[in-house]
Amino acid sequence: MRLVLRNLSIRRREGGVGEEDMPLKIVEETMEPNTSEVGLTINGIFIKSHPGLSLLEAARQNGFDIPTLCYHPDLPAEGQCRLCLVEIGEYPRTRLVNSCTYPVEQGLVVQTHSEKVLQARRMVLELLLARCPKATLIQEMAAAMGVYESRFKTDDPEELCILCGLCVRTCREIVGVSAISMAHRAPGKQVATPFTEASEACIGCGSCAFVCPNNVIPYTEKDGIRTIWGRDFELQPCNVCGNYIAPKYQLEHWAQLTGDPVETFFVCKDCR
């Protein structure tokens, strides 16, 4: 299903270890659209959905609100932030699962706002609030759940990164260069380029900064130079209007992907 597709597609681009083990046939088989239906109950209401969708997608399509931080519809879900937790099963055999990766199942009973779910969500937000006390997004989400201050310790009052990994996934899945990744384990975990040095792989596209919910990734543009992740990128002006389009390096990356001459991209989308 979707996870298979993803793993294999990453692998194909990166040419990782064990490529010989990878049967590409399966990709095509599972790509066929699934038209069958499954029925499940969310908050006591019976809904119909399609196999292959996640609980989060099914719930949102049917108007149930589930908060998320690390979910993005264009990216594979990783279940990192734990805000989208829902309770599944029937009393007394219930458990919490993250709805962004849990697939819809026939007959599943789901609670999106049970006491157990709310307690866990509040705790996650309280922990994040202690980590990033100045992050407006976290403050707002926490306040919406009735959490106004955290009982936990703040290490760095200026910290804004919640380690949701959206930037890392965007760089890997959408841009396809994997210039940044998570580094270290729990103590000192951070998003970084390899060895926190200027990355050769970075094309300066700024997608990471664009997708970041807390605007943590520093990024400046001055005199035709974009600076991001410790590296300067020369911006290419549009051949027609003269406005800057994107870093030259990024346009070269596009040219490489499409096989067109790089000059094809020297006209901005407004002048095209």
Partner 1 sequence: MPKFESPEHLREYRRQLLARRDPKQPQVLVCGGPGCLPLGSEEVAAAFTEELGKNGLAAQVLLKTSGCQGLCDQGVRVLLRPQEISYQKVTPEDVPEIVEATLKNGQVVERLVYEDSATHEHLVHKADIPFYRGQNALVLRKLDVIDPMSLDDYLALGGYRSLRKVLTEMSPEEVIDAVERSGLRGRGGGGFPTGRKWRVCREAPGEVKFIICNGDEGDPGAFMDRAVMEGDPHAILEGMIIGAYAIGARKGYIYVRHEYPLAVKRLSHTLDQARECGFLGNNILRSGFGLDIKINRGAGAFVCGEETALMASIEGFIGEPSPRPPYPAQQGLFGLPTVINNVETWANIPEIINMGPEWFAAIGTEKSKGTKVFSLVGAVNHTGLVEVPMGTTLRQIIFELGGGIRQDREFKAVQTGGPSGGCIPKQFLDLPVDYDSLQSVGSIMGSGGMIVMDTGSCMVDVARYFISFLHAESCGKCTPCREGLKNLLFILDEIIAGRGEEEHLALMEELCAAMASASICGLGQSAPNPVLSALKYFRAEYETHIRDKKCPALVCRPLLKFTIDPESCTGCLACVRECPVGAITGKKKMPQELDQELCVKCGLCYETCQFDAVKVE
Residue from 41, 62, 101, 227 touching partner 1 (CB under 8 A): that is 101
Segment near partner 1 (CB under 8 A); pick from 180-188, 194-202, 211-219, 220-228: 180-188
Q: Two tokens at 77?
A: 């879900």
Task: Give the alpha-carbon dihedral of 26, 29, 34, 37, to 10 degrees.
Answer: -70
Should residue 184 be labelled a site residue for partner 1 when binding is judged by CB under 8 A?
Answer: yes
Tokens 């609030």: give the residue. Answer: 129
Nearest approach in angstroms of CB 74 to partner 1 is 19
Nearest approach in angstroms of CB 132 to partner 1 is 10
Should residue 4 be labelled a site residue for partner 1 when binding is judged by CB under 8 A?
Answer: yes
- 266 CB contacts (<8 Å, ≥6 apart)? 236, 238, 239, 245, 251
CB neighbourhood size of 65 (10 A): 8
Kindly state the helix (H) or strand (E) to which residue 235 belongs, with its residue range: strand 231-237
Q: Which residues pair with 246 in a beta bridge?
A: 236
- 150 CB contacts (<8 Å, ≥6 apart)? 126, 127, 129, 130, 133
Nearest approach in angstroms of CB 179 to partner 1 is 15
Segment near partner 1 (CB under 8 A); pick from 32-40, 45-53, 120-128, 248-256: 120-128
Should residue 71 be labelled a site residue for partner 1 when binding is judged by CB under 8 A?
Answer: no
Residue 243 backbone phi and psi in degrees, to 5: -70, 150
What is the pattern of x (binds partner 1, CB under 8 A) and - over residues 23-62? x--x------------------------------------
C-alpha 91 chain-centroid distance: 33
Segment near partner 1 (CB under 8 A); pick from 34-42, 77-85, 141-149, 259-267: 77-85
Residue from 78, 159, 173, 252 touching partner 1 (CB under 8 A): that is 78
Q: Is 247 left (phi over 0), alpha (psi -120 to 50) or beta?
A: beta
Residue from 128, 135, 147, 167 touching partner 1 (CB under 8 A): that is 128
Residue from 91, 146, 153, 158 touching partner 1 (CB under 8 A): that is 153
| CA angle centred on 165, ends 33 and 80, rounded to 5° | 75
Residue from 12, 13, 48, 189 touching partner 1 (CB under 8 A): that is 189
Binding site for partner 1 (CB under 8 A): 1, 3-4, 7-8, 11, 16-18, 21-23, 26, 78-82, 85, 95-98, 101-103, 116, 119-120, 123-124, 127-128, 130-131, 151-153, 155, 162-163, 165, 181-182, 184-187, 189
